[in-house]
Structure formats: C-alpha cells, structure tokens
Amino acid sequence: MSSQTDYPFKPVPFTSVNFLDTFWSPRLATNRRITLPYNFRKCEETGRIDNFAKAAGWMEGPHEGIFFNDSDVFKVVEGAAYNLALAADPELDSYLDDLIAKFAGAQEADGYLYTARTIDPTAVRADREGLTRWSHLRVNHELYNVGHLYEAAVAHFQATGKRNLLDVALKNADLIDSVFGPEKLRAVPGHQEIEIGLVKLYRVTGDERYLRLAKFFLDERGHANGRELYTNFGNPGYMQDHLPVVEQAEAVGHSVRAVYMYTGMADVAALTGDAAYIAAIDRLWENVVGRKLYLTGGIGARHTGEAFGDDYELPNAEAYAETCAAIANILWNQRMFLLHGDARYIDVLELSLYNGFLSGVSFSGSEFFYTNPLASDGKTALNRGSFGRQPWFDCSCCPTNDVRFLASLPGYVYATDTNSLYVNLFVAGEGQVEVGGQAVGLRQETNYPWEGRVRLRIDPAQPTEFSLRIRIPGWAENLPVPSDLYRFAEMDSARFALTVNGESVTPSIEKGYAVLPAIWQPGDLVELTLPMPVRRVLCHEAVEANRGRVALMRGPLVYCLEGVDNGGSVADLSLADDAPLAAEHSPQLLNGVTVIRSGAITAIPYYAWGHRGAGEMAVWLRRAN
C-alpha cells in the first residue's frame, strides 16, 4: 500500500535536543518533577487506575468516572515514557511496569480493552458505552481510548526497549483489524485519535495492516455504509462525518476531533502519497488560519460542542479555545511543515505554543485551564464551572495531554531533509543532528522570546556541505499570521540581520527560511537578529467581536491586560492609536516577563494571566483614534 517512505522533512528527535534556556527548561523540569507525578496521583485518587485493576479482577467495585477515562492514563504513560527516554529513572520505570501489568490484566483474551465494559458488562448503558461491543461508537470512545494506548505503547517501547505495553497494544490492534474494514464492520470512531496511533504502530512494526486500518477509518467518514452518519448538538459536522474527508473544505464541529483527524490525514498522506488527502488538509488549513484562528493560536469558538464556529466567528469572553485544541493545532501544523517544508506552518505552531497552549498550564505545574478565553470579567465561570486554573477536572483530557506534549517539545526545534538543516524554533540549548549522512553538533544561545538575538554554533564532525535554513518568523516580516485574518496596524521597516562568522550576509528567502548554503566548518557561528518592537494588531473587519479594537504583540507573544495591573478593571480601557508603547523587562513579575506599558496601562504576556487571583482580563482593547 505504501508508495513513499514517510514525510519528506524529518524532525530531529526530542532525545537529540537538550534545552538550556530560562524560559522552557524550567517548564520542562516542572512537567517532569511536578506535573507527571501529580497526574499519576490524580489518576489514582479518581479511580482511573483502579478501573484497570477492577477489569483485571484484582479489585471489587464498579467502574469509576467517565467511560473515556482510560485514555487519560495512557496519555500520562506516554509522557512518562518520553521522560524515560531522556534520563534513566528506575522508580518510574518500575511504576510503569506495575501499571502495564494492570493494563494487561484488564485486557480480555481476544485483545479487547475498555474498562467501562469489562468491569461489569451488565452495567453499561445503551446511550453511553453501548450494550454490546462497537454498538455505540458515536459516543463511547471505545476506539479513541486505544488510540492513546497505541501512542503510549510506541513511546514506551522506544524509550525502554520493553515489549510489555507494545504487546498489549498490538493484541488490541489485531482484534480491531479483524473486526473493521471494507468487507467487515463499516463504522468509524466518534472521536478521532486511533488513526494517529495506528500510524505509529505501523512505523514501529512495518505491518501495513495498521496503516490500511488508519486509512479505512478516515475514508469511511461521510459514508452511510449500513449506518447513520454521526451528528450531535444539532450539528451535522460535529464529528466530521458529514462529508467524505477528501471533500471537506471547512473546519467544522468539535475542534479537537477535527484537528486530530487532519493530523491523521497528514500522517496517512505522507506514507501513501495520497494527493487527495493533501489537497483536503491544505484547504482546511487555509480555512482555519484565514477565518477561524484566534490571535493566541487557539481554535474552537463555541462552548456548545467545543466546536469551531462559522467563518469569522471569534468571540472573546465566550471563546472555548480548549488547551487540547491548541495542542492538536501544534501537532497538525508540525505535520503540515513536514509535508511542505514551509515556515508558515511553524509560524502558526509557534503562535499556539507560546500563547494558546502555554496559558493552559500554571507555573506550579499542578493547575490547568481547560478553556482559554481572550477576555474575562473575573466572575463568570470558566473551565467547566470554575473560574481560573483548576487542579483537576472530571474530564481531565487537558492536564493529561499537557504532560505528554511538554515532554516532547524539544523535538519541534530542528528538522532535516536530504541536504538541509531547518531551524524552526529559537530555544537555547544543544542538539545532535545528522545532515547529508554527517553528524553535526549544534549549540543555540538566545534569550528568546524576550530578545530577538539568536547565536547558533555549528560543529560538524568534519567539514560538511549543506544548506542551513533559518526560519524568519512571519511577525518579523510584518505578518502576525499567514493570512489576512490579522494585520499589524503599521508596517515596520526594521529587518532581520544575519551574520556568518561575524560577516554580514544577505541570504535568499525560500518558503519563509533564510537559506545559507556552505561547507560548514567546526565552530562556525551564525547570528540572527530579529527586531522586536511592540506591535499593534488589528483584526479582519468580518470578526464582529474585534471591530474597533486593537491587540498587542511583541515577538511571538500576544499580550493582555489584567485588572490587578490596571486599577482593578480593564473592561472600559482604550488605547489611542498614537499612544507610545514601551517594553520593559520585569524579572520579579510572574517568573520574569517583559511587560508593555503605555501611560497608566500595563500589559503582560497572555500565557501568564490568571496567576494572581480572580480579576478582569482582556486581549482586545477599544481603539481610540
């Protein structure tokens, strides 16, 4: 089935990149030391882990929690595996082995794994788990759960070399492959995810059955082959089952489901060369980035159905912008880059990373936003009934997603193709890459995102010829996003500057990258300087919520105003078009941030809001001419 090997551009693995900066390194350390064990502890306290012991017959009692809670445990295991890949941890390794034994015990003889049914098949409900296997896929997450199992299993196998979890995953995948297919049961999951997991199983095993099954689940959407097409909340596109995937052109429905689907389509397209898949996700990306993307990189306008809204429907206080959706947006845009080698996808990834995602995790690593609105009155309940970041949720998909994503973040910095090295993100640290068959050491020095100076030392094992391609962010080229959805109020004439070994160079620009071909010598030094003025951002007039309003950006960071810095209230504040704006670093504020001041107004990075108690917040201010 497979007609090509994989993506034409290859990410440098997270295990080959070590962060040494003051922005992300503390976050990753907190994720490892605090968030990971915290998530395991909450999974224990809430019965998520006991559910596996009960399904194994090792404990008595009913299933606890929501029927998709198995997936939370699998996601935390994936994050734990990434940490084991980076550093030995015998205690964590042993804990995972005990947990995997519970998974294996909970698995039925033929490979079936779904604790909500196995614990007590007589307690299931027709409108929830379904009375029999595979009878209520529209809702029950039966296939979604094991998609996360597959991702965790591959991560664990690659980190430890152990097959104990991989064998559980393969036994389950073989069962599902025996049940579903063109000549078998023609049905699809209500929540996409298994497609991503199946592709990972294919990559690690080489068994094309898994790739075919992933493609089947995608191709079957939008076809009523002996079943009713899925709807929910009165929305025919809620589960992206309204049209065949290759005919979809507008992002609709539940935003996480949608973007997991687009991510799976990219994976399958990379491995099969399916041009129709690529054309479809290209169209969908243009729709999202041109009409449905928040300035923070968040997606999902509606609380009802956690869904995309109509074109240009981007309310601020009512924004859903789930943290999981920001992660999904990052995963999708990384794959779009790997397909096309274009920096504009990394521009969107970076926007989501520093803003829409990062706001979802507290500095402490033990409190979380589920939704990430762009305005708040400080009183209205957010995040599933509570104001502000919360220690856990009944539906805790976001905290468990955070753990696995943050641990893998170093894998987004660099990429390669046959004879090029791509620098996509700017984070101080070290890396080991292979370009053109030669080993190349990298050392990046920068105080990004606060400063725009990046120094990159290149240390090939021997003189090596390749093209260094350094992303020039869209925001440094007067483009806050790669569409006309947002624009800077004024063009800035300052341009980036590049030097190689101290000498100024004027590189060609290809697909958003400064291209520097050379025979690189050990110790060569490349320096990039990006201008970082404070920028006013205006929105497309079709977005009703932002007409007559202005927002602030500096570098990749979107800013907001909080009441605590602005006399208690921000709802009625306005910003004059000619008001001076100044950036000032405040090392003691919010773990060290650069603030923006204009007269009595103070703005902080959006990701840092909500750390100082309940209060008003706004990204978009009234524009005073």
**Predicted confidence (pLDDT) per residue in 437-487, tens digit:** 999 999 999 999 999 999 999 999 999 999 999 999 999 999 999 999 999
Residues of the chain below pLDDT 70: 1-4, 381-386
**pLDDT attached to residue 235:** 86
Partners of 302 in beta bridges: 307
The token pair that represents 482 in the structure block:
């790669």
Domain range summary for the chain, segments of one domain joined by + = 34-179, 415-471+495-529, 534-624
**pLDDT attached to residue 380:** 76
Respond yes or no: is residue 45 known to be catalytic.
no
The total of other beta-carbon atoms located within 10 Å of residue 334's CB is 23
Whole-angstrom Cα distance, residue 398 to residue 31?
14
Alpha carbon of residue 311 to chain centroid:
22
Respond yes or no: is residue 398 known to be catalytic.
no
The token pair that represents 553 in the structure block:
């950006």
**pLDDT attached to residue 38:** 98
Among 129, 195, 220, 306, which one carries the catalytic annotation? 306
What is the C-alpha radius of gyration for the chain, rounded to an integer number of angstroms? 24
Partners of 596 in beta bridges: 583, 603
Whole-angstrom Cα distance, residue 250 to residue 247?
9
Quick check: bond before 13 cis, omega within 30?
A: no
Among 220, 350, 367, 397, which one carries the catalytic annotation? 397
Given a contact cutoff of 8 angstroms between Cβ atoms, the answer to whether 221 and 244 are in contact is yes
Given a contact cutoff of 8 angstroms between Cβ atoms, the answer to whether 455 and 20 are in contact is no
CATH class of 415-471+495-529: mainly beta
Given a contact cutoff of 8 angstroms between Cβ atoms, the answer to whether 453 and 528 are in contact is yes
**pLDDT attached to residue 382:** 63
Given a contact cutoff of 8 angstroms between Cβ atoms, the answer to whether 245 and 261 are in contact is yes
**Predicted confidence (pLDDT) per residue in 484-529, tens digit:** 999 999 999 999 999 999 999 999 999 999 999 999 999 999 999 9
The token pair that represents 363 in the structure block:
């500095």
Whole-angstrom Cα distance, residue 603 to residue 561?
5
| Predicted TM-score of the model (pTM) | 0.98
Given a contact cutoff of 8 angstroms between Cβ atoms, the answer to whether 114 and 141 are in contact is no
| SS3 of residue 344 by DSSP | helix
Whole-angstrom Cα distance, residue 348 to residue 333?
7
Given a contact cutoff of 8 angstroms between Cβ atoms, the answer to whether 250 and 284 are in contact is yes
